[in-house]
């Protein structure tokens, strides 16, 4: 959900772009963190823990806590709270630790 009106801040958004999350098409603004666009789309579960499969989401927003690791354009363990959204990005839920190719 976007904040449309704010008494203090004017948000400088990039241009609207499309990306996919687990194959489905979504819209976001270029240059914002992938997690912001996903959050706007109501997507809270970004991944699952390795052993117990517990759902994990956004937590620190500064690339510090490793709660938001996802697969982006085939690359695993991308911190989506700091990785910037670009047109046509393929974002996927990560299962397991991911492979280094």
Partner 1 sequence: MIHTEIAIVGGGPAGLCAAIKAAESGAKVIVLDRNSQLGGQLIKQTHMFFGSQKQYASHRGIDIANILISKLEDYKDKITVMLDATVIGLYEDRVLTVDQGGKYIKIKPDTLIIATGASEKFQAFPNNDLPGIYGAGAVQTLMNVYGVAPGESVFMVGAGNIGLIVSYQLMQAGIKVKGVICRGPKFGGYAVHASKLRRLGVPVMPSHKVVYAHGKDKLERITLIKLDENKKEIPGTEFDIEVDVLCIATGLTPLAELLWQMGCEMKYISELSGHVPLRDKNLMTSLDGIYVAGDVAGIEEASSAMVEGSLAGLCAAKAAGHIHPDFEALVADCHKQLYDLRSGPEGEAIRKGLSKAELKEVGL
Question: Would you tell me which residues interact with partner 1 (CB under 8 A)?
Answer: 1-3, 5-9, 11, 13, 32-33, 36, 39-40, 44-46, 49, 54-65, 67, 81-82, 84
Least Å distance, CB 25 to partner 1, is 19
**Cβ within 8 Å of residue 38, ≥6 positions away:** 21, 26, 28, 46, 80, 91
Q: How big is the chain by its Cα radius of gyration, in Å?
A: 14
Q: How far apart are CA 6 and CA 23, in angstroms?
A: 33
By beta-carbon proximity to partner 1, the closer residue of 65 and 90 is 65
By beta-carbon proximity to partner 1, the closer residue of 63 and 74 is 63
Q: Which helix (H) or strand (E) segment is 81 a member of?
A: none
* Residues 25, 29, 32: CA angle, nearest 5 degrees: 115
Least Å distance, CB 45 to partner 1, is 5
Least Å distance, CB 90 to partner 1, is 19
Least Å distance, CB 97 to partner 1, is 17
């Amino acid at each position: 959900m976007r904040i449309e009106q704010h008494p203090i801040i004017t948000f400088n958004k990039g241009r609207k772009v499309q990306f996919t999350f687990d194959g489905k098409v979504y819209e976001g603004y270029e240059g914002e963190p992938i997690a912001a666009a996903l959050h706007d789309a109501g997507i809270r579960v970004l991944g699952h823990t390795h052993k117990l499969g517990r759902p994990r989401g956004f937590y620190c927003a500064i690339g510090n806590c490793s709660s938001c690791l996802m697969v982006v354009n085939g690359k695993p363990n991308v911190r989506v709270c700091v990785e910037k959204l670009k047109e046509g990005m393929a974002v996927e839920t990560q299962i397991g630790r991911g492979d280094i190719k």
